[in-house]
Chains A and B, each alone.
Chain A
Amino acid sequence: MTRELTGASRREFLTAASASGLVISFAVASKAEAQAGGLSRINAYVQVAPDGWVTITNKNPEIGQGIKTMLPMLIAEELDIPWEKVRIDQADSDPAVYGRQFAGGSMATPLHWEDHRRVGAVARAMLIQAAAQAWNCPAGECTTTAGVVLHKASNRKATYASLATQCAGITPPDPKTLPLKDPRDYKIIGQAKVQYDTPKIVTGQPLFGIDVVRPGMLFAAYEKAPVFGARVASADLAAAQKVKGVRKAFVVEGDPKAVQPQPGQIGGGLLPGVAVVADTWWAAKKGRDQLRTSWQEHPTSAQSSAAFAAKARELSTAKPQRTPRNDGDVDAALKSAAKTVEAAYAYPFISHATLEPQNCTAEWKDGKLEIWAPTQNPEPGRQLCAKTLGIKPEDITIHMTRCGGGFGRRLANDYMVEAAWIAREAGAPVKLLWTREDDMRHDIYRPGGFHYFRGGLDAAGNLVAFHDHFVSFGEGTGFAPSAGMGPTEYPARFVPNFRIDVSTMPLGVPTGPLRAPGSNALAFVFQSFIDEMAHAAGADPLAFQLKLLGDKPTVGEAPALYGAGRMAGVLKAVGEMSGWANRSKLPKGEGMGVACYYSHLGYFAEVCHVAVAADGAVKVKKVWVAADVGRQIINPHGAMNQVQGSVLDGLSEALHQKITIENGAAVEGNFDSYPLMRINEAPPVEVKWVITDNNPTGLGEPALPPAIPALTNAIFAATGKRIRSLPIDPAMLKT
């Protein structure tokens, strides 16, 4: 954890707007403060030790995306320090110093590619300045190499360690004025670096939220209603308290409306429930098992997946509630089309299922709250706790632990506010841990959805009409969280007659972002239906996709710019690497499918090779990925892991994952009923980086969406059967 900065030094932080528009901070600490702990602090991110080690602070939460290694690589590169001399420190939540700290949207690379290199460049310039002052020479005559400042003319050199103490009095230069390295001179960026925490991971050292231990800490279990937001009717607190080791059991009134997020929040707040606090977590769980809690009636207790599907069918033929896009005349174009196709697609609610269940440790002391949380999004957690508990945000300290997976689940902070509340009631430090069943039945789910497509081809096989009646969830003119779709969803703007209609249903189930939100479902339906149109046209699906993209390099303008040329580039690349042209030689029961998708600023095309057995069992034999995320892969080790993992994650969703809503509650509760892909199902994933002259962008998400339609399109190629509903049902593939 970062050494606490004192109030005085914090006041002395200067902030400077970076090229990306974010605020970055440069400490101008007083000499005494800059020297605290034997380390010389040069700015908020860089400290130099007398032995030459440099400690670089990682500002963002680490959820397995490798950020704790990647962001410091950017700083170390421009600081010009050997990677082997770098230690990495995890920042606490402190937006005054670090700006927004979150793991989401694959945004860290685009947001920090520039400013983090400038953080390193500023520190390097200050070390050079310190040397120039000592040597009484112009700073412009000094250079650096591997943590040493050189003045070639006088043959003098000094280590960063020897100069760092002199930086306290130096005003940092304007970061925008500093030149950055020519990429040809990179020594760290572009090199495969092992995650900084790997040695601790492989030896089982405590890193995660669940591993936090505080002196005098108690353990808590928290039971909430199966129907989201229902209030406690009764609970046998006395029975729970009789269990050995249980210290306290109590009802938490909570807020039944906290199922839905408040403005500025993702996910809900403090829901009603019953807390059991004990000497060990097992005792807390055993106490909880004695509660026999009953719950009050709740208005959403009749909702179910089956009823949603029936209602969606009904809405699909009714007048839509709204029409966010209407280009040309779809109905007329369909009437005059040479060929038309209609298809209904659906996808289920799914759960994040982070392998580390939600948990948080909270401690109250003198009216102040200290939190250790595996969170992707600490600042909204601070606001949520402050509001719910009626305390000042500045009286809350949040330490960010490593997260055992995130996938968007930990953008919500419901577990954080629960821990804070329970710890205050318990009067002791408390570690709250959800059971797997709590976690799966109290997620912010990827919402299900329904798409009713019509498409039309002209006599030349061009896609000339495209209609989607999207039936989703929401009330009024809004969508439920992560249940929406924008008016530029591809192939909008590429088909002359294109209409999106929308109808929504009310929903009592909490929803929220899951890895590649929106895209993880929309890629499946749109890329599958485009594949259907390609087959209807009698065309090679990859060639059909290229034709649809057209000849223009870009369509539209930022933030809705679509790089059609970049997409064509990855499609061509994946065709070559997969041997797409030779797919007709595959044996019976095997096939290849192609799909492409743009999300999170990345262009991805993927080919899947599948074998379908007579009993309908699907075996994915291989996936090829062509990826365009710009001109530089920062850490090839981590980047490859993200892409391979994302692809397998997508396949896992397609093959297995479904949360069923019955009686207003989630049915599946653990990995026996909600299976995830295992090693025996995991195919090899071959990845090619298609390098283009664009700024680098992130890799946490964009490889996932096209994996799903690449698979379902491959199943069609192998069997002639079209998967229009997820997860894939092998029974329908039996021959």
Chain B
Amino acid sequence: MAYKLNVNGKVHQADVDPDTPLLWTLRDTLGILGPKYGCGIAQCGACTVHVDGQPIRSCVTPVSAVTGRITTIEGVGASAVGKKVQAAWTELDVAQCGYCQPGQIMSATALLTSNPKPTDADIDAAMSGNICRCATYTRIRAAIKRASGQKEA
């Protein structure tokens, strides 16, 4: 089946089976490698992308179920919030290995878009779906606070 996908403002054509997860369509068919494979069962959040601004786990979302505009880590900097989040992630040097961070940044951007001044509890709720195996959680929290203009500790 041929699917038209709007990814980061550009329309792509992907000829894949309907049950192919969006993650593998992005990675192997379209060559958009930012979203990462970590678990395949929506447990780790490394594959997080936005569809119409909402964070989804692309590893369990069949390409046939996607109708909206897709944003990946490669395109999230086009929004003011995404850009701020990326800047905070850089200034605080959140990453260790960095593998989960595209998913973390996508979740954090979605959080700050809907809730510009999240509390610690809001951060816990929005970010608990994203595992960081290196456990950079202290800095993830600080970077979200910084990007939202709040005190970091």
Contact = CB atoms under 8 A, between A and B. Distances in A.
Given A65-B96, A219-B28, A641-B136, A282 B41 contact: no
Interface in A35-91: 63-66
Contacts of B140: 679
Contact of A644 (B44, B128, B138, B153): B138
A281 B105 contact: no
A192 B92 CA distance: 10
A195 B93 contact: yes
Given A203-B73, A282-B24, A649-B135, A680 B128 contact: yes
A355 B133 CA distance: 6
A355 B46 CA distance: 8
Interface string A103-133: 0000000000000000000000000000000
A327 interface: no
Contacts of B91: 194
A78 B10 CA distance: 47
Interface of B: 16-17, 20-21, 24, 27-29, 31, 33-41, 43-44, 46, 72-74, 77, 86, 89-91, 93, 95-102, 105, 123-125, 127-128, 130-141, 153
A691 interface: no
A671 B39 contact: yes
Residue of A356, A649, A652 most packed against chain B (CB within 10 A)? A356
A208 interface: yes
A406 B96 CA distance: 11
14 contacts: A64-B134, A210-B33, A280-B16, A282-B28, A353-B133, A355-B132, A404-B36, A404-B98, A642-B96, A645-B134, A648-B137, A672-B43, A679-B127, A679-B137
A244 interface: yes
A518 B29 CA distance: 43
B41 A670 contact: yes
Contacts of B141: 679, 682
B99 A644 contact: no
A197 interface: yes
Contacts of A710: none
A678 interface: yes
A201 B20 contact: no
Nearest to A207: B98
A281 B24 contact: yes
B135 A682 contact: yes
Interface residues of A, number: 60
A356 B97 contact: yes
A201 B98 contact: yes
Residue of A197, A201, A685 most packed against chain B (CB within 10 A)? A201
B152 to A, nearest CB: 11
A657 B74 CA distance: 33
A637 B139 CA distance: 11
A374 to B, nearest CB: 10
Given A436-B40, A642-B96, A671-B39, A202 B33 contact: no
Contacts, number: 177
A592 to B, nearest CB: 20
Given A195-B95, A652-B135, A678-B131, A670 B36 contact: no
A173 interface: no
A202 B90 contact: yes
A202 B98 CA distance: 8
Given A281-B28, A354-B133, A671-B44, A679 B128 contact: yes
Contacts of A404: 36, 97-100
Sorted nearest first, the 6 A-B pairs with minimum C-beta distance are A204-B34, A64-B97, A404-B99, A204-B73, A648-B135, A682-B137
A478 B96 CA distance: 36
Contact of B38 (A63, A436, A638): A436
A202 B105 contact: yes
Interface of A: 63-66, 192, 194-195, 197-199, 201-208, 210-211, 213, 219, 244, 280-282, 353-357, 402-407, 433, 435-436, 637-638, 641-642, 644-645, 648-649, 652, 670-672, 676-680, 682, 684-685
Given A204-B72, A282-B24, A403 B97 contact: yes
Given A194-B93, A355-B44, A678-B128, A282 B37 contact: no
A670 B43 contact: yes
A644 B98 contact: no
A313 B128 CA distance: 39
A513 B90 CA distance: 31
B34 A205 contact: yes
Contact of B39 (A204, A670, A685): A670
A645 B97 CA distance: 11
Contacts of A644: 135-136, 138-139
Contact of B99 (A281, A282, A405, A676): A405
Nearest to B138: A644
Contact of A198 (B35, B90, B100, B133): B90
Given A194-B90, A282-B28, A645 B136 contact: yes
A208 B17 contact: no
Contact of B89 (A202, A208, A670, A682): A202
Contacts of A402: 97-98
B100 A355 contact: yes
Contacts of B46: 355
Contacts of A407: 133
Contact of B37 (A206, A207, A210): A210
A436 B133 CA distance: 13
Contacts of A355: 36, 38, 44, 46, 97, 99-100, 131-133
Given A203-B73, A405-B134, A435-B40, A282 B20 contact: yes
A77 to B, nearest CB: 19
A66 B124 CA distance: 27
A637 B142 CA distance: 14
A421 B133 CA distance: 30
